Amino acid sequence: MAEIGWITGAGSGLGRETALRLARRGWRLAVSGRNRERLEALAAEAPVGTIHPYVVDVTDREAMEAAAAAIREEMGPLDLALFNAGDYEPMGLDQFDADLFRRIMEVNYLGVINGIQAVLGRMAPGGQVVLTASVAGYRGLPRAAPYGASKAAVISMAESLEPEFRARGLRLRVVNPGFIRTPLTAKNDFHMPALMEPGAAADALVAGLLGRGFEIHFPKRFTRVMKVLRCLPIRLYLALTGRMLRG
């Protein structure tokens, strides 16, 4: 019997490419986003009958609940829920904007919370809930305060909930990618080390889904450096990020 999954943020980038790869492996997938045309184009590109669009905004809690109920009714219990929808906008202190923090947090953090609430009770035994965060959530980075804070919140929340998920026979996991070439990262005006194409990032994500670890991170040559920086004493780390800002 085919495994069943739900991917949000599937209209483009990492979500889209991951959906295609899982569909080609025989999965039946519900894919979500706000743009119906993009979702239907994705379904048309995948093997027939493998991808089923559900138009939904992750910031709408009731709509997420309704989508999860419809997916459970029409497709069956979920083996995978990948909450991948995200938003990003660089911001320096001169452009400080509380509304931007709110917008980013609504999508990147509360959108994930809405997803978790929607699928609790609708997962298959042993199913996994996978949350797309970012290495930007490891520590604060210049001009990434709204985005990094939202991703740090996802990581912390997942670490808090993982033991209870495990006790219920479910898996809660976090994806921490580096830079991926998307319309969102195109907003950056700086060099992005180890920039990945969406297809290569999706290959790494799918390989990670087949593993057992709590964290899936890629590309390793970049994420391992970020993990080292995570361990630096705060004085050294702030001196380094200060130089990044001047650069």
Catalytic site positions: 147
Cis peptide before 219 (omega within 30 of 0): yes
C-alpha to C-alpha distance for 154 and 160, rounded to whole angstroms: 10
C-alpha to C-alpha distance for 198 and 200, rounded to whole angstroms: 6
Cα–Cα distances in Å, from 43 out to 31, 36, 47? 9, 11, 8
Cα–Cα distances in Å, from 11 out to 76, 84, 137? 22, 10, 24
Angle at 173 between CA 156 and CA 232, to 5 degrees: 45
Look at the block and give the residue holding tokens 């699928």: 119
For residue 55, what is the enclosing H or E element? Answer: strand 51-55
C-alpha to C-alpha distance for 158 and 176, rounded to whole angstroms: 12
